[in-house]
A and B are shown apart, each in its own frame.
Chain A
Amino acid sequence: MSDDAEFEAFFVESYGGLLRTLTVIIGDSEMAADALQDAYQKAYVRWGRIRRYDAPAAWVRHVAVNRSRDLIRSNERRRRNEERAAGPDQAFDPDIDDSLLSLLRPLPARQRTAMALFYLEDLSVEQVADAMGVSSGAVKYHLNQGREKLRPLLEERGKQ
C-alpha cells in the first residue's frame, strides 16, 4: 500500500470520530474541521514518521486538541458577540444537533475537553491526559468538576 493510500485509509477511519469530538469540544463544527485540517496536514507532511507510530490518530488528536485551545477562545468571543446581538441560545453551530453542545456549553473548555475525550473518544484517563498535555490528576479533576456541573443539568433534562 502506498503512503498516500495508507494515509487515506487512516484519514477515512479516524476523521469522523475526531471531527465529532472536536466539534463537541469547540462547539463549532467548522472550527473543529479547521483544527483537524491543521492536524491532518501536519500528519501528512510527516507521514513517513507518523505512520510508524502505534496510534497515529492519537498524534493527530493531540495536535488538534492543542489547536482547539485558540479556536475555543475565538469561538467564545464570537459567541459572546452573537449573544449580545441575538440573545442566548443562538451561538452554537446551528447546523448540527446541538443537544450535547448546549449541555456542555456552561462547562469550562478544560472540563469540556476532558469529558469529550473521555466519553466520546472512549479514552482512558491517561490517554486523555496525553491528548491534553496535562497530568492524569488534572484530568480526574476536570472530569469530576464536569460531572458535578452536568449532573443537575442532566436531571433537569430528564424531567422534561
Chain B
Amino acid sequence: MTTDPFRDAFERMAPRPVDPAAARAELGALTPGFQKARRFHRVRLGAATAVCAVGLALGGPAVLGAVGSGDSSAPVDFANEGEPGPDIADAAEVDSAVDQIDDSSAGEEFETPDHLDSDGSSDPTEDQPIEITGVADDSADSSVPSADDTTTPAAAADEVAVSDGGSVSYKVVDGALVFVNHQPVSGFEPELVKDNGHEIKVRFSDASVYFEVEIELKDGVPEEDSTGPRTLGSSGDNSGSGSGDESDEHDENDEPSTEEG
C-alpha cells in the first residue's frame, strides 16, 4: 500500500486491464490488417527502391533531382519516422506540437524512411520472407538495397550525362575521358559516335528524331552537353527539351537543325 493518495485512487478506481486471453483474441482479429499493412509497406519500399535504381541507371542525380523536385517543404525526420517527435519544453505548446508530429501520417501515409518509409514511416521487416515479387525487404542482411540505404550502387560512382533520348555514363581516369555505357530511353537506339579519350559523343535515335549527348574534357574537367531532338532526314527544326546549347560538332551526315534552347 502506497502512501500517495493519488496512486491509491488510480489503482483502486482504474478499469481492469484486459486479460491475456482477450488480448490474444484481439490480436487474432487485428493480424490480417497488420499483415496487409506490412505488405503494402513493402510494396512502397520496393517501389521507392525501384525508382531510385531506375533513376540512377538512367540519369543519376539529375533524374533523381527531377523526380524529387516536388514540394518538400515539410521536413521529414528520417531518423524518427513513426516515432516520437521533437521535445517541447513549453507545456502550452504540447497540443500544437503533437499535431505536427501526427504519427499517423508519419507511419502510414508517408512512412518516412527511417523512412523513405512515411511512416513512419522506412522499415525493417527484415526477418520476414518477401512475399511480393520485386519488393525490397529492408532488412540489414538483404541483398536488395533498402530505401534507407545511403550508399549508392557502384555504377553511381560514374558521372552521368543525360538527354531525353538516354543517358551516358563515363568517368575520368588518369586525365582521360572513359566511356562506361549508355542507357537509351525505351524506343531509342544508342550509337557511340565518338570516344577518343577527351571527347565522348553518343546519339540516341528513334524512327524520327535523335538526341546527342556529348562530354568533352576541358582542362581536365568534363563538360556535358546534350542536344535534340533533331529530326532525322529533314532539315527542319524540332522543339524539344534538350538541356544544352546545340553544338556545332555534328557529323557530316547530321541533319542541320535550328537551335533549341
Interface bits A30-50 vs B (CB < 8 Å: 1, else 0): 000100011111101111110
A45 near B88 (CB under 8 angstroms)? no
A48 near B103 (CB under 8 angstroms)? no
Q: Which residue of A lies closest to B95 (CB)?
A: A69
A100 near B91 (CB under 8 angstroms)? no
A interface majority secondary structure: helix
Stretch of B24-32, B179-187, B213-221 lying at the A interface: B24-32
A133 near B85 (CB under 8 angstroms)? yes
- Residues in chain A near residue B125, CB distance under 8 A: 45-48
Shortest beta-carbon distance from A41 to chain B in Å: 5
* Interface status of B252 (Cβ within 8 A of chain A): no
B15 near A45 (CB under 8 angstroms)? no
Shortest beta-carbon distance from A65 to chain B in Å: 8
- Residues in chain B near residue A109, CB distance under 8 A: 95
Interface bits A128-145 vs B (CB < 8 Å: 1, else 0): 011111110110011000
* Interface status of B94 (Cβ within 8 A of chain A): yes
Category for how many chain B residues contact A: 35 or more
Interface bits B76-118 vs A (CB < 8 Å: 1, else 0): 0000001111111111001101110111100110010010000
A17 near B114 (CB under 8 angstroms)? no
Q: A66-B85, A130-B84 are in contact. Are A100 and B13 (CB under 8 A)?
A: yes
* Interface status of A94 (Cβ within 8 A of chain B): no
* Interface status of B126 (Cβ within 8 A of chain A): yes
B88 near A48 (CB under 8 angstroms)? no
Interface bits B1-28 vs A (CB < 8 Å: 1, else 0): 0000111011101111111101110110
* Interface status of B68 (Cβ within 8 A of chain A): no
B84 near A133 (CB under 8 angstroms)? yes
A48 near B124 (CB under 8 angstroms)? yes
* Interface status of A120 (Cβ within 8 A of chain B): yes
- Residues in chain B near residue A129, CB distance under 8 A: 87
* Interface status of B38 (Cβ within 8 A of chain A): yes
B7 near A135 (CB under 8 angstroms)? no
B123 near A46 (CB under 8 angstroms)? yes
A19 near B38 (CB under 8 angstroms)? no
- Residues in chain B near residue A154, CB distance under 8 A: 5-6, 9
> B23's contact among A12, A47, A49, A69, by CB below 8 Å, is which?
A12
The residues of A with any CB-CB pair to B shorter than 8 Å are: 3, 8, 11-13, 15-17, 19-20, 23-24, 29, 33, 37-42, 44-49, 59, 62-63, 66-67, 69-70, 96-97, 99-101, 103, 109-110, 115-116, 119-120, 129-135, 137-138, 141-142, 147, 150-151, 154
List, sorted by A's number, 5 A–B pairs whose CB atoms are closer than 8 Å.
Answer: A20-B16, A42-B82, A66-B84, A100-B13, A154-B6
